[in-house]
Amino acid sequence: MMSAENATTRSLILGCMGMGGTWDQNPVTLADETKAASALDAALESGITTFDHADIYSFGKAETVFGRLLATRPSLRQSIHIQSKTGVSLNAGVNGDTHYDLSRKYIVDQTLAILKRLQTDYLDTLLLHRPDPLMEGEEIAAAFEWLHTRGLVRFFGVSNMHLKHIRYITGQSHFPIVANQLQFSLGHRLLIESDILVNQAGVAPTASTDGLLAYCHDQEVVLQAWSPLDKGKYLQTDAEDATTLATILKVKEMAGRYQVPPEAILLAWLFAMPARVVPVVGTLNPSRIKACAMSLNVKLSRTDWYDLWITARGISLP
Ligand SMILES: NC(=O)c1ccc[n+]([C@@H]2O[C@H](COP(=O)([O-])OP(=O)(O)OC[C@H]3O[C@@H](n4cnc5c(N)ncnc54)[C@H](OP(=O)(O)O)[C@@H]3O)[C@@H](O)[C@H]2O)c1
């Protein structure tokens, strides 16, 4: 088992959902490219070398922008890890609804399109974005096999999946699932609370997260935490509700005491989990990216970890 308390195992991923500008069919702009380039540079300067994409981000434009940057810096590819996701099909339904599609054909076709947009020969990791109720393990296994044997994808993972989905997929395929990307942050704590507050009235329904944290820990599935900064909720100067305001003040006080930016406190809270958590930070602001990287060396005391948790809950533990 790996422990996130060992700082040498800590790492961050830069989420590229914001690259490529607006979610529409308009072309990529020079401003989009400039913004993406400064985020990429800030990440590299901070030691962040893994980049998270999805085929749907800005309708493919996030990958297009990143691909253009790669094309101008050919030597970069071998020193970074690129991850993308597929399986969510926007506007697929008759009314323009989103569908999920983990058929063999969809996974293979979308991955080929991802590689083309990113202007790369291979993905380090491909994640299945969300569970598809119509998914067949054999089809997923066949897609993995096809992509891996051609050298197009090195590793496979999932996102927003329950442990039963991971067990189902790994039961059909000989490829391990290396990561599960889930929403996880100080403000979105279902993974912890559904595990810990056993038989407790008033706790949110637990079925979808039950046992997931322990499973990822035991099986060494990296838990990639999306929206780890709660989109800046605890980094503001004010809030409408008392619990959020108290949490903002607590984060600020700890940031002063540990002499790091507040972003680092929020991420250090995630790093304290015994399971291997890798936050996928979504800011493209260079100074915020650098602030996030300061979390790699912050070890919160047990007292401070609990203090943050209880403050963000707004309710004492039973
Ligand atoms: N697997 C999934 O289903 C899934 C779902 C959502 C996201 N993701 C991945 O996770 C990544 C991160 O998600 P996220 O963007 O929701 O996470 P986040 O890191 O919690 O939030 C970052 C976003 O909040 C904004 N923000 C506003 N004020 C901020 C502040 N004071 N400090 C920091 N950020 C502030 C950032 O804008 P600025 O750029 O202006 O700083 C950015 O748009 C995405 O890029 C994507 O790769 C995955």
Is there a domain that residue 2 lies in? no
Please tell me the total count of domains within the chain.
1
- The protein residue with its alpha carbon nearest to ligand 1, atom 15, reads 282
Is there a domain that residue 1 lies in? no
How many contiguous H segments (helices) and E segments (strands) does the chain have?
Answer: 11, 10
Is there a domain that residue 225 lies in? yes
9: confidence class by pLDDT, cuts 50, 70, 90: confident
The rounded Å distance from CA 299 to ligand 1 centre is: 23
Is there a domain that residue 151 lies in? yes
Strands 99-100 and 88-89 come out as antiparallel
What is the pLDDT averaged over residues 74-96? 96
Is there a domain that residue 224 lies in? yes
What is the pLDDT averaged over residues 174-188? 97
Contact between 304 and 264 (Cβ < 8 Å): no
Q: Which residues line ligand 1 (CB under 6 A)?
A: 15-18, 52, 159-160, 181, 226-232, 235, 280-285, 288
**Among 35-39, 195-199, 245-249, which is the least confidently predicted range?**
195-199
What is the percentage of the chain residues whose pLDDT exceeds 70?
96
Q: Which of 12, 13, 17 to mutate to test the pocket of ligand 1 (most atoms within 8 A of CB)?
A: 17
Please check the confidence at residue 6 and state whether its pLDDT lies above 60.
no
CA-derived radius of gyration, the chain = 20
Q: Could you report the per-residue pLDDT of 44-82, keeping only the tens digit for each?
A: 999 999 999 999 999 999 999 999 999 999 999 999 999
Q: Residue 149 is part of a domain; what is its CATH number?
A: 3.20.20.100
Contacts of 170 (CB under 8 A, 6+ apart): 176, 177
Is there a domain that residue 120 lies in? yes
3-state secondary structure of 49: coil
- The protein residue with its alpha carbon nearest to ligand 1, atom 4, reads 226
Q: Could you report the per-residue pLDDT of 182-202, keeping only the tens digit for each?
A: 999 999 999 998 888 877 776
pLDDT the model gives residue 1: 37
- The protein residue with its alpha carbon nearest to ligand 1, atom 30, reads 232
> What gap in Å lies between CA 165 and CA 147, rounded to an integer?
21
> What gap in Å lies between CA 136 and CA 132, rounded to an integer?
9
Exposed, middle or buried, 97 (CB in 10 Å: 0-12/13-18/19+)?
Answer: exposed
Contact between 13 and 74 (Cβ < 8 Å): no
Exposed, middle or buried, 127 (CB in 10 Å: 0-12/13-18/19+)?
Answer: buried
The rounded Å distance from CA 20 to ligand 1 centre is: 14
Mean pLDDT computed over every residue of the chain: 94
- Domain of 63 in residue numbering reads as 8-313
What is the pLDDT averaged over residues 206-214? 81
The rounded Å distance from CA 210 to ligand 1 centre is: 25
Please check the confidence at residue 5 and state whether its pLDDT lies above 60.
no
> What gap in Å lies between CA 130 and CA 240, rounded to an integer?
33
